[in-house]
């Protein structure tokens, strides 16, 4: 029996810290934006020196890095983009995520051996379009979110085997067609196709009749509220076998603007599920603990999107656009002294002596503990609480920890 090629776990890297976190917690590859020409202008993104550091960190660990240049360029973008490509052409970037065919041509002209991945912004929804891009030398095709597993399987069957398919498996869903939204531009002047989406799909709307200005009528679906364009979040962790059988080569997590807590939690859960499947595909059983872990990261209600057919009204959340947040990210371990049991911790949210918390890392599930002591790392001053952002602390740990482990606390 031929060994199955393992599906790639592809994680978002909104900045250098998230890049390292994603790799530490199990990502096979990361995608990130530079300071320009990426569709997540609000993410931290990476400057040239950070790209070099991130690439070195990933490649030393056998991981891959993909740079997003997935805006739809206007004429005014062309010369600055050429300048940008000349700045990065000597970096060892594994692939470029691009939607605009003109930008593909520019990248090939400037970096002839570049590997090209077609961004989801290109709206690939059928195998004929896939064949076109494959014939143009595109190595990987990112599927539109509007495709079912059956449709993806058909795309796979019609393409050469060396052409890879990538699909989103977790994260926010755009109400507009594969992210091609004009609402943001129209309402706020921020162009979603150039990286500045204001997310108007999450707003609460009312109706106004033209002859009754100032009289607002709520838009309601029964008694459930008026967030008429607010999709639930995609979550396919229960369906790893179906993703594999559909021929997907890379399982992509959305979230370049999310926290390192989100990245670590989601990547860790999917890593465990994917590894468990490949260890014994015939006897694979989903473990509820993986879903319980996912729910500890900030999230909306979950949906399987279009994978099993067109979504109905249940795939929308009409009540609120807020995230569910049951746990807070309170700190990150920087170092640990095995002899004393004391960790150097960077505070991320307020913590107090006596708090009941959980600690998790890439090589463990989690362990609960109570904070018994806190001290300022530099002065040694004893503290009852740590309210200052990114304060460096010393604290005893209930079990051994490693750099990169994360501390979280249940809300309420």
Q: 172: which 2 tokens?
A: 């926010």
CA distance 176 to 194: 15
Q: Residue 144 has what pLDDT?
A: 92
Contact 362, 25 (CB under 8 A): yes
Which one is the CATH code of 8-176+231-315: 3.30.1010.10, 3.20.20.70, 3.40.605.10, 3.90.1530.10? 3.20.20.70
- How many degrees, rounded to 5, is the angle at CA 46 between CA 11 and CA 409? 55
- For 30, 35, 51, 138, 321, the CA distances from 23, given in Å and listed in that order, are 8, 21, 14, 25, 30
- Binned at pLDDT 50, 70 and 90, residue 217 comes out as low
Q: What is the DSSP string of 10-58?
A: EEE-SSHHHHHHHHHTT-SEEEEEBSSS-S-TTS--B-HHHHHHHHHHH
Structure letter (DSSP) for residue 201: G
Q: Residue 240 has what pLDDT?
A: 98
Q: Is the pTM of this model over 0.75?
A: yes
- Helix (H) or strand (E) run with residue 336 in it: strand 327-337
Whether the per-residue pLDDT at 336 is higher than 60: the answer is yes
Residue with tokens 């008429």: 228
- How many degrees, rounded to 5, is the angle at CA 21 between CA 16 and CA 27? 110
Q: Residue 205 has what pLDDT?
A: 67
Contact 190, 198 (CB under 8 A): yes
Please indicate whether residue 197 or residue 49 has the higher confidence score (pLDDT): 49
pLDDT in tens, 127-166: 999 999 999 999 999 999 889 999 999 999 999 999 999 9
Percentage of the residues of the chain whose pLDDT score is greater than 70? 82
CA distance 243 to 181: 27
Q: Residue 2 has what pLDDT?
A: 47
Please indicate whether residue 36 or residue 294 has the higher confidence score (pLDDT): 294
Domain boundaries, the chain: 8-176+231-315, 327-410
What is the rounded average pLDDT of the residues 218-227?
Answer: 53
- How many degrees, rounded to 5, is the angle at CA 68 between CA 67 and CA 73? 135
What is the rounded average pLDDT of the residues 190-214?
Answer: 69
Q: What is the DSSP string of 320-379?
A: --PPB--EEEEEEEEEEETTTTEEEEEESS-EETT-EEEEE-TTS--EEEE---EEETTT
Whether the per-residue pLDDT at 222 is higher than 70: the answer is no
CA distance 383 to 375: 5
Whether the per-residue pLDDT at 73 is higher than 80: the answer is yes
Quick check: helix, strand or coil at residue 370? strand
Q: Which of 4-13, 165-174, 181-190, 343-352 has the lowest mean pLDDT?
A: 181-190
Q: Indicate the Cα dihedral angle 306, 186, 228, 253, nearest 10°.
A: 40
CATH number for the segment(s) 327-410: 2.40.30.10
Contact 327, 262 (CB under 8 A): no
What is the rounded average pLDDT of the residues 367-382?
Answer: 97
- Binned at pLDDT 50, 70 and 90, residue 201 comes out as low
What is the rounded average pLDDT of the residues 165-175?
Answer: 87
Q: Indicate the Cα dihedral angle 261, 46, 60, 69, nearest 10°.
A: 110
């Amino acid at each position: 029996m031929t060994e199955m090629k393992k599906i790639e776990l592809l994680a978002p890297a909104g900045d250098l810290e998230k890049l390292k976190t994603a790799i530490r917690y199990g990502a096979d590859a990361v995608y990130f934006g530079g300071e320009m020409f990426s569709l997540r202008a609000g993410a931290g993104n990476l400057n040239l020196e950070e790209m070099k550091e991130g690439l070195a960190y990933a490649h030393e660990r056998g991981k891959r890095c993909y740079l997003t240049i997935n805006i739809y360029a206007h004429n005014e973008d062309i010369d600055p983009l050429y300048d940008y490509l000349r700045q990065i052409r000597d970096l060892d970037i594994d692939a470029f995520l691009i939607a605009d065919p003109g930008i593909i041509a520019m990248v090939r002209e400037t970096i002839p051996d570049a590997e090209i991945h077609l961004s989801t912004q290109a709206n690939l929804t059928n195998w004929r379009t896939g064949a076109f891009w494959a014939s143009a030398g595109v190595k990987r095709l990112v599927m539109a979110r509007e495709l079912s597993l059956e449709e993806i399987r058909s795309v796979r069957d019609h393409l050469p085997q060396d052409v890879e398919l990538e699909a989103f498996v977790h994260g926010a869903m755009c109400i507009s067609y594969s992210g091609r939204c004009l609402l943001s531009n129209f309402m706020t002047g921020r162009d979603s196709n150039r990286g500045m989406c204001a997310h108007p799909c999450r707003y609460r709307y009312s109706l106004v009749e033209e002859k009754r200005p100032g009289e607002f009528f709520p838009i309601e679906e029964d008694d459930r509220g008026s967030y008429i364009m607010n999709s639930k979040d995609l979550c396919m962790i229960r369906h790893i076998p179906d993703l594999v059988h559909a021929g997907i080569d890379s399982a992509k997590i959305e979230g370049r603007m999310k926290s390192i807590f989100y990245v670590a939690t989601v990547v860790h859960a999917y890593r465990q599920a994917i590894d468990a499947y490949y260890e014994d595909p015939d006897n694979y059983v989903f473990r509820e603990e993986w879903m319980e872990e996912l729910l500890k990261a900030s999230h909306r209600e979950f949906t399987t999107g279009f994978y099993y057919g067109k979504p109905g009204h249940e795939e929308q959340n009409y009540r609120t656009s807020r995230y569910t947040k049951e746990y807070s990210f309170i700190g990150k371990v920087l170092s640990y002294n095995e002899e004393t049991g004391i960790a150097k911790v960077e505070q991320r949210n307020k913590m107090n002596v006596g708090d009941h918390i959980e600690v998790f890392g890439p090589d463990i599930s989690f362990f609960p503990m109570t904070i018994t002591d806190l001290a300022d790392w530099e002065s040694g001053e004893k503290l009852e609480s740590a309210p200052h952002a990114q304060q460096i602390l010393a604290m005893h740990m209930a079990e051994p920890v490693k750099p990169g482990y994360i501390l979280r606390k249940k809300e309420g």
